[in-house]
Copies of this chain bind each other. A is one copy, B any other.
């Protein structure tokens, strides 16, 4: 270990630390001041012009830094009024939703899937309905079981619009799961997710190998491309075998977390 620097500045003045791009240094400097409480919610930051003097840089560079902070919700900007530290960095938590095969692989288990059912139906018939498409639209209905280390971990029920993706009728899904296959073939532009807890009904409990009534996490995903609904899928996971999780840090990685 080299000796400590001669003077230990109290962290967080309008001051650069020389590490990395200047605009990142500015971001860090101000984020630290907010986290330290040196800048408190409602406080006004100096105008860009003044900050560019304090940091001895151009106004563009300051603007880039502060605009970034505003995107992350730490400050709010308004012309004439200036830049204010947000009352609360909003409840801006976000949760990533990832592909099951990746998650399984990441945990070092074998991933496998099996298409267990595959029928052509018309929308609205036989208890199948996808309300984003008109009655009678031709659909492919798929059921697919995903396993981690041999144990069922996700049961998938999916509708695919045959009008939009005619090729789906011929596809055997030997190499790729329906989700992957679609992902590789069709770009999406809008996706809606809904996440809820359900008690597993008999038809879901059986393939998953769990007692009926077991709590399951259900993720619904509706995918649209340029206004056309492409696929609607329900992923069902036994509650004791799967959870969503996400870590979120303000300003990137200032905080070494303190969490396991």
Chain A residues in contact with chain B, CB under 8 A? Answer: 34-37, 87-89, 91-99, 102, 131-132, 183-184, 187-199, 213-218, 221-222, 224-229, 237, 239, 242-251, 254-260
Contacts and interface: CB of A to CB of B under 8 A. Distances in A.
Contact of A244 (B88, B132, B195, B243): B195
Contact of A95 (B195, B250, B259): B195
A197 B239 contact: yes
Given A89-B187, A195-B217, A217-B196, A224 B94 contact: no
A132 B259 CA distance: 6
Give the one of A98, A215, A224 with max B CB within 10 A.
A215
B89 A97 contact: no
Contacts of A131: 260
A93 B93 contact: no
Given A93-B97, A250-B188, A245 B193 contact: yes
Contact of A189 (B35, B213, B221, B237): B35
Copies assembled: 2
A196 B35 contact: no
A244 to B, nearest CB: 4
A13 to B, nearest CB: 17
A180 to B, nearest CB: 9
A246 B196 contact: no
Nearest to A102: B91
14 contacts: A34-B187, A88-B187, A89-B188, A93-B96, A93-B97, A94-B95, A131-B260, A132-B258, A189-B249, A190-B257, A197-B237, A215-B239, A227-B256, A229-B258
Given A94-B95, A215-B216, A215-B239, A258 B227 contact: yes
A255 B243 contact: no
Contacts of A228: 258
A94 B91 contact: no
Nearest to A96: B94
Contacts of A221: 93
